């Protein structure tokens, strides 16, 4: 089979400065518009724009920016941006747009407001949780601030912003410290992933192609004149517009291209069902991913589905809850951790060079193209880890739990960042249960203090939906900087602006909306159920101390062993077709939503490469980019229709 190569992976040198006042201002506008669009769709109960690592809310704004820039460029306007400036603006958008709905802003305010509002005589929170919660972390509801957050304010009643100042200040310090240490990690690994291993970064390769200037044959300015792009744009739009008509005429059959027209399919007794939807957004980006990565994803979905069915029939995994499903989740989490460890082992030569540069100033190691010098990144990582560890310790987490938690947290940042860069799917997650509670499963709740278990409820804000916090967006943003000409202090400033602006705008928007409409009425924006469950688990473990969960650890160990075996086979037998990366994402709801379109693209791309080669694959790229562009405009139009005709009762045409 012919192997595809992506020229955009090659580092390119730009002569003009990338980080200019114009690119930073445009980046700020991109953050504000994408955040507003994401929240707008959520409030109408319409499309969910922020579940992916290149959120639809950001992608649409970026498409509009690129098209507007083409017009400015043709008019020779001074407002036209260079390709490098567009990439900086997108990088800022990736960071800032990560916070709103389904990001940190959906979880953090609820974690702060829940403990003293949701306690009841039955759940035991007052007796078992409250004494272990520091006053500076949550709202104590003495002035009713938490109650009003969930139940809403009376008309003209002022929002109690003062009650939020202390917890937001301390949580903000933690978030910014995590952002800093994550940036340091990604700087340390960027060269290894981008230049040495040449990971694909399909999400960013598509974006870079779109940003290419008018003198580039692969750029958007040339692409929009191509027949393939026009056909793709038309089909992507029709996939949504047809179903919009059914909003008004429900008897018209709908196309299975949107969530409200798709369905679940059971393919084997005992195995998880999968979602049958022709998901345009997934199909568009999956076309740019490696065939081997797509193959790994759907094959492991089938294999773990068979495994779940067998486990359930034999009663295996019943002790860990949810039978075979939870067993497979533990196995996948073990595979995820081992993928990270193997990746770091394969990077050992590069990491040694980084530390030589950091500690000895080795002149042969070049870090001039990095956002931070290696010395700053290494020492900055150490300082960041100390700050985060100290924060969590003050919040109640004892040392042995803290060490384990920090290990798994860093693994999450690295692992999800790598998986997104390697596989290129816009969606990916791992078991948040395994990640949040791994220290308790390893040590047993008998050996852990009550404050440590209560602190597990706090960190739900950081790892709910396990999107790796800022790891993937920062890794993608640093990919965009590869080959750019920039001054370090300017680029660091742009990243800091995106982080601070995204945090405060999205958190402030969530708090404001909750007080005005009532947090209980906002569904996914405040994520009440997940927060309640996390705190309740702490109560359960305090009341009923448990030993280490050897069943979960055994399943996790089996996943680690499988990764080691597959890695050995892949590096010793060139013909071995199955990489381990797909195993890390199994057992999750999101995998069930992704597998059908991933399988479709795998079949199509395999045939294209086999019979048409790389040339035919490249000729197809404008079609798939056009498919996503047309789809993005149609999703925006659908949200507008919901706003005008179905306010508060919208239609989810974009989700996964």
**pLDDT tens track for 16-59:** 778 889 999 999 999 999 999 988 887 766 677 888 888 999 99
CA distance 299 to 291: 12
Q: Is 322 helix (H, G, I), strand (E, B) or coil?
A: coil
**pLDDT tens track for 560-595:** 999 999 999 998 998 899 999 999 999 888 899 999
Q: Alpha helices, DSSP H only, in 214-290? A: 220-223, 227-248, 280-286
Phi, psi dihedrals of residue 265, rounded to the nearest 5°: -130, 125
In sign, the C-alpha dihedral spanning 324, 327, 331, 332 is positive
The rounded Cα 172 to chain-centroid distance in angstroms is 20
Work out the burial of residue 362: count CB atoms within 10 Å of its CB; fewer than 13 is exposed, 13-18 middle, 19 or more buried.
Answer: middle
**Secondary-structure breakdown of the chain: helix, strand, coil percentages, each rounded to the nearest 5:** 70, 0, 30
**CB count in 10 Å sphere of residue 248:** 10
CA distance 229 to 226: 5
Find the mean pLDDT for residues 632-656: 86
Which range is least confidently modeled, 101-115, 226-240, 504-518?
A: 101-115
User: Quick one: what percent of the chain has pLDDT higher than 90?
Assistant: 46
Instruction: For residue 274, list its beta bridge partners.
Output: 265
Q: Are 184 and 384 in contact (CB under 8 A)?
A: yes
Reading the block at residue 109, the tokens are 């305010």
Work out the burial of residue 473: count CB atoms within 10 Å of its CB; fewer than 13 is exposed, 13-18 middle, 19 or more buried.
Answer: buried
* pTM of the predicted protein model: 0.91
CA distance 292 to 335: 17
Which one-letter DSSP state was computed for residue 193?
Answer: I
Find the mean pLDDT for residues 333-352: 95
* Residue-level length of the chain: 656
| Distances from the Cα of 219 to the Cα of 65, 72, 223, 233, 516, angstroms | 14, 15, 6, 16, 44
Q: How many Cα atoms are found within 13 Å in the side-chain-facing hemisphere of 345?
A: 8
User: How high does pLDDT run on average in the chain?
Assistant: 87
CA distance 100 to 506: 5
**What are the DSSP calls for 402-425, one per residue?**
HHHHHHHHHHHHHHHHHHHHHH--
Burial 556-577 (b: 16+ CB within 10 A, else e): bebbbebbeebbeebeeeeeee
CA distance 384 to 355: 17
Q: Are 471 and 190 in contact (CB under 8 A)?
A: no
- What is the three-state SS of 82-131? CHHHHHHHHHHHHHHCCCCCCCHHHHHHHHHHCCCCCCCCCCCHHHHCHH
Helix (H) or strand (E) holding 542, with range, is helix 528-543
Phi, psi dihedrals of residue 386, rounded to the nearest 5°: -65, -40
**pLDDT tens track for 549-561:** 898 899 999 999 9
Torsion of CA 630, 633, 637, 643, to 10 degrees: 150
Q: Are 84 and 14 in contact (CB under 8 A)?
A: yes
Which one-letter DSSP state was computed for residue 440?
Answer: H
Phi, psi dihedrals of residue 67, rounded to the nearest 5°: -65, -40
Q: Is 489 helix (H, G, I), strand (E, B) or coil?
A: helix
| Distances from the Cα of 264 to the Cα of 36, 267, 324, 449, 452, angstroms | 32, 10, 19, 43, 40
CA distance 115 to 457: 9
Q: Are 416 and 226 in contact (CB under 8 A)?
A: no
Instruction: For residue 357, list its beta bridge partners.
Output: none
**pLDDT tens track for 433-455:** 777 778 888 999 899 999 988 88
**pLDDT tens track for 270-314:** 788 898 999 999 999 999 999 999 999 999 999 999 998 888 787
Residue 4 has pLDDT above 50, yes or no: no
When pLDDT is cut at 50, 70 and 90, the band that residue 7 belongs to is very low
The residue assigned the tokens 């560890």 is 389
The pLDDT of residue 45: 67
Candidates 340, 465, 344; CA nearest to 412 is 340
Instruction: For residue 265, list its beta bridge partners.
Output: 274
Torsion of CA 96, 101, 102, 105, to 10 degrees: 70
The pLDDT of residue 116: 87
Q: Are 440 and 541 in contact (CB under 8 A)?
A: yes
Residue 465 has pLDDT above 60, yes or no: no
Find the mean pLDDT for residues 75-81: 85
When pLDDT is cut at 50, 70 and 90, the band that residue 497 belongs to is very high
Residue 251 has pLDDT above 50, yes or no: yes
Q: Are 567 and 578 in contact (CB under 8 A)?
A: no
Candidates 337, 334, 328, 407; CA nearest to 553 is 334
The pLDDT of residue 12: 47
Q: Are 485 and 14 in contact (CB under 8 A)?
A: yes
**pLDDT tens track for 412-435:** 889 999 999 988 888 888 877 777
The pLDDT of residue 524: 60
Residue 123 has pLDDT above 80, yes or no: yes
Q: Are 398 and 390 in contact (CB under 8 A)?
A: no
**pLDDT tens track for 207-242:** 888 887 655 656 777 888 899 999 999 999 999 999
Q: Are 566 and 146 in contact (CB under 8 A)?
A: no
CA distance 490 to 494: 6
**CB count in 10 Å sphere of residue 135:** 9
Angle between the N-to-C axes of helices 488-517 and 162-191, in degrees from 0 to 180, rounded to the nearest 10: 140
């Amino acid at each position: 089979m012919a192997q595809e190569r992506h020229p955009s992976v090659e580092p390119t040198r730009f002569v003009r400065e990338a980080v200019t006042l114009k690119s930073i201002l445009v980046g700020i506008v991109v953050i504000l518009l994408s955040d507003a669009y994401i929240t707008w769709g959520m409030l109408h109960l319409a499309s969910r724009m922020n579940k992916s690592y290149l959120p639809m809310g950001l992608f649409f704004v970026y498409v509009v920016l690129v098209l507007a820039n083409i017009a400015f460029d043709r008019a020779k306007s001074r407002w036209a941006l260079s390709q490098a400036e567009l990439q900086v603006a997108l990088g800022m958008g990736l960071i800032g747009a990560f916070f709103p709905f389904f990001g940190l802003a959906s979880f953090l305010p609820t974690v702060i407001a829940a403990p003293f509002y949701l306690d009841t005589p039955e759940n035991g929170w007052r007796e078992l949780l409250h004494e272990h919660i520091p006053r500076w972390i949550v709202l104590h509801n003495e002035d009713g601030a938490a109650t009003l957050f969930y139940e809403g304010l009376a008309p003209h009643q002022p929002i109690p912003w003062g009650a939020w100042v202390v917890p937001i200040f301390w949580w903000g310090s933690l978030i910014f410290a995590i952002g800093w240490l994550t940036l340091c990690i990604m700087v340390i690994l960027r060269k290894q992933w981008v230049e040495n291993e040449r990971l694909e970064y399909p999400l960013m390769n598509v974006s870079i192609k779109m940003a290419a200037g008018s003198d580039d044959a692969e750029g958007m300015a040339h692409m929009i004149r191509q027949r393939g792009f026009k056909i793709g744009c038309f089909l992507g739009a029709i996939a949504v517009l047809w179903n919009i008509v059914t909003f008004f005429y429900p008897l018209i059959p709908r196309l299975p291209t949107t969530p409200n027209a798709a369905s679940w399919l059971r393919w084997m007794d005992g195995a998880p069902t999968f979602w049958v939807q022709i998901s345009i957004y997934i199909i568009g980006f999956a076309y740019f991913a490696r065939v081997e990565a797509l193959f790994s994803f759907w094959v492991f979905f089938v294999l773990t589905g068979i495994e779940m069915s067998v486990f359930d029939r034999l009663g295996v995994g019943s002790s860990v809850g949810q039978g075979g499903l939870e067993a497979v989740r533990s196995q996948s989490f073990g595979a995820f951790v081992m993928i990270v460890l193997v990746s770091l082992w394969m990077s050992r030569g590069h990491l040694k060079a980084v530390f030589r540069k950091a500690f000895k100033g080795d002149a042969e190691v070049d870090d001039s193209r990095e956002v931070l010098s290696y010395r700053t990144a290494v020492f900055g990582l150490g300082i960041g880890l100390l700050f985060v560890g100290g924060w969590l310790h003050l919040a109640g987490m004892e040392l042995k739990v803290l060490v384990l938690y920090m290990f798994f947290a860093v693994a999450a940042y690295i692992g999800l960042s790598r998986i997104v860069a390697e596989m290129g799917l816009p969606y990916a997650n791992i078991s948040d249960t395994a990640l949040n509670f791994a220290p308790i499963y390893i040590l047993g709740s008998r050996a852990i203090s009550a404050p440590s278990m209560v602190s597990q409820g706090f960190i739900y804000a950081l790892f709910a939906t396990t999107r790796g916090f800022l790891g993937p967006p920062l890794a993608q943003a640093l990919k965009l900087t590869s080959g750019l000409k920039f001054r370090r202090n300017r680029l660091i400033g742009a990243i800091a602006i995106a982080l601070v602006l995204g945090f405060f705008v999205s958190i402030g928007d969530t708090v404001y909306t909750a007080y005005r409409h009532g947090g209980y009425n906002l569904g996914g924006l405040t994520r009440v159920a997940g927060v309640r469950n996390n705190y309740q688990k702490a109560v359960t473990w305090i009341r009923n101390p448990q030993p280490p969960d050897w069943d979960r650890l055994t399943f996790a160990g089996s996943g680690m062993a499988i990764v080691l075996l597959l890695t050995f086979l892949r590096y010793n037998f060139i013909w071995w077709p199955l990489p381990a990366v797909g195993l890390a994402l199994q057992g999750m709801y999101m995998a069930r939503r992704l597998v059908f379109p991933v399988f479709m693209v795998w079949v199509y791309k395999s045939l294209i490469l086999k019979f048409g080669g790389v040339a035919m694959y490249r000729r197809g790229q404008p079609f798939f980019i056009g498919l996503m562009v047309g789809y993005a405009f149609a999703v925006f139009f659908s949200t507008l229709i919901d706003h005008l005709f179905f306010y508060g009762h919208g239609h989810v045409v974009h989700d996964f």
